[in-house]
A and B are shown apart, each in its own frame.
Chain A
């Protein structure tokens, strides 16, 4: 563990990118902020700009029109950062596998942009807020082993 991965794993600031999702994962991410789940217990906080973010919460199967915007978000985010692919669409495209307008999954696009970006997959349609929090906490725990 170096100081960068220590910093990210302590208080991850989250930026939410919807790349053509159906809103289900998005409202579950917002649900994590509300009193019942309260992700701020773990230092997590939604921020308004990718430049402030440690973790990009990406939902959706990445549509053709949102792909260039998503790549710009990847460029703009402060390095190092990790990408959390929330939901089955983001992990593997799920039922949009054969759709003509979806160019995902997230890992394919991030690998094309930069091979070193770490992708954390949180599957589920939609993943429950507990699953999102669990995925983040487990992923960030493992981050302590990595040198960023």
Chain B
């Protein structure tokens, strides 16, 4: 007989109000569902009331862990809309903070994943070494978590050469310690037994669900916005996209751990190559009417922002799509058929971030309304209003 086990919304394992519904038959998971809406704050609406320069501080609070990703994606969208040039030195600073953020996010995830399977030693170790990255970020930006570095057209603050040089010893220790930690994690027979072959996401399923970031790269798809839509200084740097073929939880762990080492390598290159002199802000006057998109590779996958401007000093529409939104549906492929004990680590293995994802809320008392129908109706109305029969995508496909 099928039983439904709720995990959350307030569960001792989870940082956020996440609500999973596992349908199980004895020990086997036969279906999984996710309830969202606990974290929806209405940021897209608030963003329309702020000026272009104020929005980065707001979207920084979309998610505290990727608090450089959302402002970066937003700035890319505004710069795309207004054809704004960014000085080279500002690009270096942006990339540097982005890579440091990736290191801290992946270490945070490695620790929490250890905690999820009851291996608290990994949790304590990973979070201990993560403190070094936070110290570095505090040295360079003045803040541990919300860095407040981004603005359309450049960055808010200088980074001095002596601070950059001061970061080198910490990076060196960080590299040694994380290599030691990763060898310990990947050589551990207990962890291997818990993770290998668990929650396999085949490549075709990853493509069908549109998985992003480390989740897709662990299934052999080299999707990485840093390589696919180059921004910042990634074209100049020597780095590679890490992929694994296996698609299981162990592969997702490996991808994240190796990416951290890549990020440390990139950070060192940026410190070597960054020019000491130069402007950090192109000080754009205004954003012309139009629309723009920004693709940024956040630690969890590709973060997408859309900004529409009508020539005033505020965005008319600001749409955010976070990577976890695309990674959720993969649970249908990975969790089903596994045991309840393994389900927790599989759910955690896409590194879900709810505060990023929750861009919508269902209305109480309007359960009869189907959101998909509403969305289709809105698109049809828009088409009629604009007098077009085909969407831009359909036109491109026809050509």
List chain A positions with a Cβ less than 8 A from chain B: 16-28, 30-31, 34-36, 46-50, 60-61, 63-66, 69, 73, 95-96, 98-102, 125-126, 128
Contact = CB atoms under 8 A, between A and B. Distances in A.
B58 interface: yes
A63 B40 contact: yes
Contact of A18 (B17, B46, B146): B17
Contacts, number: 118
Contact of A126 (B17, B58, B145): B145
Given A23-B65, A34-B127, A63 B39 contact: yes
Given A30-B15, A34-B127, A63 B41 contact: yes
A95 B61 CA distance: 9
Does more than half of chain B's interface fall in helix, strand or loop, or is it mixed? Answer: loop
B63 A23 contact: yes
Contacts of B38: 19-20, 63, 65-66, 69
Most central of B40, B49, B146, B353 by chain A CB within 10 Å: B40
B42 A65 contact: no
Contacts of B108: 27
A23 B131 contact: no
A10 B128 CA distance: 26
A18 B16 contact: yes
Interface in B129-151: 131, 144-146
B45 interface: yes
A20 B128 CA distance: 27
Nearest to B353: A23
Interface string B334-374: 00000000000000000001010000010000000000000
Given A22-B63, A35-B124, A69-B9, A101 B15 contact: no
B37 interface: yes
